[in-house]
Chain A
Amino acid sequence: MFYLIQLLNAVQYGLLLFLLASGLTLIFGIMGVINLAHGSFYMVGAYLAYWLAKLTGSLWLAIPIGIVIAFAIGLLLETAIFSRLYKRDHLYQVLLTFGLILIFEELRSILFGDEVHGVAIPALLDYSIPLTDTLSYPVYRLFVTAVCLGVAGLLYFVIHKTRIGMMIRAGTSNREMAASLGVNIPLLFALVFAVGMALAAFAGTIAAPISSVFPGMGNQILIICFVVVVIGGIGSINGAMIASLAIGCADTIGKVIAAEYSAIAVYLVMALILLWRPQGIANKA
């Protein structure tokens, strides 16, 4: 039973990572932009959940409103800043998005202060399933797992089965060719960017009751997402899925065996993958 709980935790964490990493890998794969501020949107989502839940009194209202706000901010950022970065060197993308992180962190500090805040689990899901006499599993975590799976499925469907997905795949493999065949590239870019931001913020909102909201939460998860993208291969949604679950497992196993070293376990997995396949598991060298 103990191991079942750990497995459930691993899957839940892995799927949450997938929500973030899929946006990151798509934005890189299609626009060629490395976005360090991706983690900041996770934080934005979590703080929106905290703020809106307090304002409206319900997390159920906070989640959709939060997603809409994050989508709008994403669209705004894309048109104002990121659209000027597509042709620039990665170096400047790193620098600019590093500047954005500083801005987001300070705005967070000005608006919400530097304390850790908790977000209440909605009453409907605020109970645990007893597994044995001493162990139980919170329903909210199961809910997060199910929602993430749903979103992942939806993402898979959109990318592989719809017209817009076809355009996204075309954009990833050859931007110029897709543009010359009539795909509205600026619009597609803006859309993908905003969706990526909304996904990251969504991950933040639903994770908020589990992890609580705290300063620097976005940066911590951003680097783990980079590990996921490196392992999975840039631009690959399927790779991101496999890598997210692998990292979720590595992190959980690490925590069970030697808690102090669990963070290191994740990077060791990455080191091994780099030796074996520097281009990521889903991409051919």
Chain B
Amino acid sequence: MIPISLPRTALLAALLAIVLFPLIGATFYVQLGAKIMIMAIFALSLDLLVGHTGLVSLGQAAYFGVAAYVLALISPQYEAANLWLTLPAAMAVAAVAALIIGFLVVRTAGVYFIMVTLAFAQMLYSVFHDTKLGGGSDGIYIYVRPELNIAGFKPLDLENPMQFYYFVLILLAVVYAFLNRVLHAPFGRALAGIRLNEQRMRSIGFPVFSYKLGAFVLAGALAGLAGYLAACQFGFVNPDILAWQQSGVVLMMVILGGMGRLHGAVLGAFSYVLLQEVFSAPALLGAYAKHWQLVMGSLIVMIVLVFPHGIGGFLDIVLRRISYRPPSSARTDGT
């Protein structure tokens, strides 16, 4: 018999809800769901760095945005691009950008790393904002979403919100499973070692620089996947997509969910986007809805001061309290 515990039941219910949701939800909420899952992939990519390798990057939006721009730049204007070509291309360019920048930034540590990742992300922002390469500050429209074409057969139509939702859901599941595998593989264990004690890993003989750079590039490629999907969904890219506020938001998601745990990143993305929707709803806050960032900012400050381990950490404590059973009760009954 499978033991039924509260966390497991909750998890199963949540999974079921995510899978069945598009069948009952209104189109607006299906699209919101897809957006949340795209942000979850983005947050997962950053959690690999922040939570698992101990590298606090404040420039993750750079790779997200670069991939989005790649899709916008190589899409034909009035017909659908081929997803099998454009998606790998976008992820590859994001990975190469992460490799070049990573080569420079990974040699720094701590607070330097934070500032330098931010600065290089801002450099890419200036490239797209100041030059004509990506349409300047106006950005580029993507009129037709890419199509999923396997020798003439199209399993999913990405223009359809429900099918797009499932496409993103599948990719989120793949990324989650992949990262879960990576983190339990020797590579992931080495990253954990680096996070806990870099000196010791180095003295054991691990090429720490290469491991960190590897994690940085992998995170860049996955952020690129999220950026590609975001560009598909919005049909529009402009420099704001790689602005540093975006990097701040995704970092917020990772911490909100509780870093260093993959489901935390997903939970964080979910909570952040929902909070944003609630705070910016005019029905709730009236004229102040357009100043929703004031509420969000205050909330962030409160969370850091009051819940140091994020919502995920807070839930863990609550769940442990609820499902706690005194272990000695059976024995005392028997004697």
Q: Which residues of A come within 8 Å of B, CB atoms?
A: 28, 34, 81, 84-85, 88, 90-92, 94-96, 98-103, 105-107, 109-110, 219, 223, 226-227, 229-230, 234, 260-264, 267-268, 270-271, 274-275, 278-279
Contact = CB atoms under 8 A, between A and B. Distances in A.
Interface string B296-311: 1111110111001000
B293 interface: yes
A279 B244 CA distance: 23
Given A91-B56, A219-B244, A274-B105, A230 B298 contact: no
26 contacts: A34-B111, A81-B305, A84-B305, A85-B304, A90-B111, A91-B56, A92-B255, A95-B252, A96-B300, A96-B304, A98-B248, A98-B252, A99-B299, A102-B294, A107-B294, A109-B291, A223-B122, A229-B115, A230-B108, A262-B130, A270-B119, A274-B104, A274-B116, A278-B107, A278-B112, A279-B112
B287 to A, nearest CB: 10
A71 to B, nearest CB: 21
Contacts of B303: 95
B114 A34 contact: yes
Given A84-B305, A91-B56, A28 B111 contact: yes
Can you list the 3 inter-chain pairs with the closest CB atoms, starting with the nearest? A99-B300, A102-B297, A267-B123
B130 A263 contact: yes
Interface in B280-298: 291, 293-294, 296-298
A267 B111 contact: no
**Majority-rule SS of A interface residues:** helix
B130 A90 contact: no
A91 B252 CA distance: 10
Contacts of B114: 34, 90, 94
Contact of A267 (B107, B119, B131): B119
B110 interface: yes
B219 interface: no
**Majority-rule SS of B interface residues:** helix
A85, A88, A230 interface centre (most CB from chain B within 10 Å): A230
A101 B132 CA distance: 30
Interface residues of B, number: 44
B61 to A, nearest CB: 13
B251 interface: yes
B126 interface: yes
Nearest to A263: B126
A40 to B, nearest CB: 11
B324 to A, nearest CB: 28
Contact of A94 (B56, B130, B291, B305): B56
Contacts, number: 124
Nearest to B56: A91
Contact of B255 (A91, A227, A260, A279): A91
A23 to B, nearest CB: 15
A1 to B, nearest CB: 28
Given A263-B130, A274-B104, A99 B304 contact: yes
A95 B308 contact: no
B131 A261 contact: yes
A263 B108 CA distance: 22
A284 B119 CA distance: 22
Interface string B311-327: 00000000000000000
Contacts of A94: 56, 58, 114, 248, 251
A223 B58 CA distance: 11
A234 B301 contact: no
Given A34-B114, A110-B291, A278-B112, A226 B119 contact: yes
Contacts of B120: 267, 271
A95 B308 CA distance: 11
A101 B297 contact: yes
B173 interface: no
A268 B123 CA distance: 9
A264 B123 CA distance: 6
Given A230-B112, A234-B111, 8 more contacts: A88-B304, A91-B50, A91-B251, A95-B252, A103-B293, A230-B108, A230-B119, A274-B116
B87 interface: no
A92 B297 CA distance: 13
Contact of B118 (A100, A223, A263): A223
A251 to B, nearest CB: 11
Nearest to A103: B297
A264 B304 contact: no
A41 B107 CA distance: 31
A260 B304 contact: no
B286 to A, nearest CB: 13
B135 to A, nearest CB: 13
Contacts of B127: 264
A223 B244 contact: yes
Nearest to B100: A271
